[in-house]
Structure 1
Amino acid sequence: MMAPADLAGAGLAIFVAGLLRGFTGFGFALAAVPLAGLVLPPAMIVPVVMLTQLVIGSADAVRERRAVDWRLVGWLTLGLAIATPLGTWALVALPGDITRIVIACIVLLGAAAAWRPPRAEGAGEGGLLHARITRLGVGLVAGLFTGLAAMPGPPVVAYMLAAERDPRIIRATLMVFFFFTAVTGCASAWFAGLIGWPELVMSAAALPLVVGGSAIGAAGFRRADARHYRPAALVVLIGAAAVTLLREIL
């Protein structure tokens, strides 16, 4: 039985992650897993995040479909489907403290990579074949991170933010792609025996917090200057990872 303070801490982490998700279109798992992982074991919080993403992501896929780069989503999802089971195996095999350190390092690396000045869209990708291979590779890495930590964001976000794209397209594409990550992640976690009644109940309890946080974050996105899009998200992600990493090391 969890202590009330632990439940409150996990709930606050979920709500804050929802705010970030609503504003940027990404970052829910990147913030929720390391922060809620301070009071919950990764083997529990990861399936909960996946289940929550699955529910809220279905609405995103319909609402944001007109702004999505569907060709990019297709190649990313192909790599995702191939590699997610490998990440789930690693989640089951690794101890919880090691998993938390790996998760924190993943977030820091992804945020650091995304902080670089953006290049012109399409620059550095070479020809069509090279671009497809690059996108497939990003999807493969995202699949590993999905199974391990419900966190496909670092490689995909770094790839998306590395080019000068309309923030509306970035946000919509990421939200829809993360819905597909939730589908593959939940299926993989189910077959691995990581989803049971405790995870289902906790996901149902977390859903209103995510919906509320996402709604507030989305309202902020509509009102914010586009220049604030990248730095606001990256500062929060780096902070979440740093807190988790310091807690495990000290």
Structure 2
Amino acid sequence: MLVTSGGQFPSFHFLIILFIIVTTVRSGSARITSTFTRSEWPSTDIPWIMKLLQFQRVTMSTAKALYAVKLPSIEVHITQGDYDGKAVIITWVTTDEPGSSKVLYGTLEKKYDFSAEGNVTNYTFSNYSSGYIHHCLVHGLEHDTKYYYKIGDGGSSREFWFQTPPKIDPDTSYTFGIIGDLGQTYNSLSTLEHYMQSGAQTVLFVGDLSYADRYEFNDVGVRWDSWGRFVSEVLHISHGFGLLEIMK
């Protein structure tokens, strides 16, 4: 503590210190606490075998995206591809045949000046066989830039976009969401829609994710597939990070 020779705290110095503390606290308090709460308890799993458009609690845009399981390429996800935010990894799944692992991309809609070649893999677990899982690293991107990209071949191709993060700087503003224990319930749907309305640029999924541990054998893989389709509405445009869960 700063004191004078007489043992009393100088009011001028006190005001300076108080001003520094107040301005520091104000500049550092940029976070916002949401008042959002899940409305249903206990949570009820979404019955994926029924058409989601039949549920009144599902918005039309989200239902169309979730019901896109019939499209040739599904479960389209983006994750950050490097530490600087100048690369992304685009992941998608094709069902009937592998197809191309190439990604076309550019800064203008439907005009793709660049391309990147990825790889494809699949796996089996018990009686379950996965789809063809494509991973493609797209690097050398510019910060804070909107990119359009295209995956797939011919009539089965699909087009999306993503926004790269701003350049790293102590004063850079960046909004991201953290979602834990998402699952695949009506509350999960409400949570995702709330995140999409927040304007966040990245989402961090902290487990648990699909709640596949309640299922056995081939149903485990099916459960993960349904979760992948479920979050595709968010992750084909927003960078996502999550935990890797392994079934032993």
Scaled by the length of structure 2, what TM-score is found?
A: 0.26
Structure with greater Cα Rg: 2
Structure with more strand by fraction:
2
Name whichever structure is richer in helix by fraction. Answer: 1
What is the TM-score normalised by the length of structure 1?
0.26
